[in-house]
Amino acid sequence: MATSIEDINALIAGYTNLKEYFDAQKPRWDDDVVEAQNAYAALASNLNGVVVSQMNFTATINPNDPAPTNVRAGVFNTIKAAVDAAPQGAFVTLSLVSGATFPIAADISLDTKTLRLIKSGVGANPIIAPSVYSTGAHNALRKFDMWSGYLYLQNCDVQFPAKVDAALPWSATSTLVGYHSGSSVRVGIFSSTVTSSEPAHGLASAKVGTQVTLSIYNTTLDGPFSAVAIAFNGVVEISQGAVTLLNGATLTDGGTIGTNILQN
Using an 8 Å Cβ cutoff, are 70 and 36 in contact? no
Region for 145 from its dihedrals, namely left if φ exceeds 0, alpha if ψ lies in -120 to 50, beta otherwise: beta
Residue pair 217/251 in contact (Cβ under 8 Å)? The answer is no
**C-beta neighbour count of 153 within 10 angstroms:** 27
CA distance 253 to 61: 33
Between helix 5-45 and helix 47-55 the angle, nearest 10°, is 80
Q: Check if the beta carbon of residue 68 is closer than 8 Å to that of residue 75.
A: yes
Q: Determine contact, residues 58/94, Cβ cutoff 8 Å.
A: yes
Strands 114-120 and 91-97, sheet pairing: parallel
Report the candidate in 243, 248, 245 with the shortest Cα–Cα distance to residue 264. Answer: 243
**Residues 117, 130 contacting (CB under 8 angstroms):** no
**103 Ramachandran zone, left/alpha/beta (phi>0; psi -120 to 50):** beta
| pLDDT at position 153 | 98
Partners of 195 in the beta sheet? Answer: 159, 222
Q: Please give the pLDDT value at position 231.
A: 65
Could you report how far apart the first and last alpha carbons of the chain are, in Å? 99
pTM: 0.80
What totals of helices (H) and strands (E) does the chain contain, helices first?
3, 19
Alpha helices per DSSP H over 172-244: none
Instruction: Give me the average pLDDT of each 10-residue run along the chain (264 residues).
Output: 71 79 80 78 62 78 97 97 93 97 96 93 96 96 90 98 96 89 92 96 90 95 93 83 96 78 65
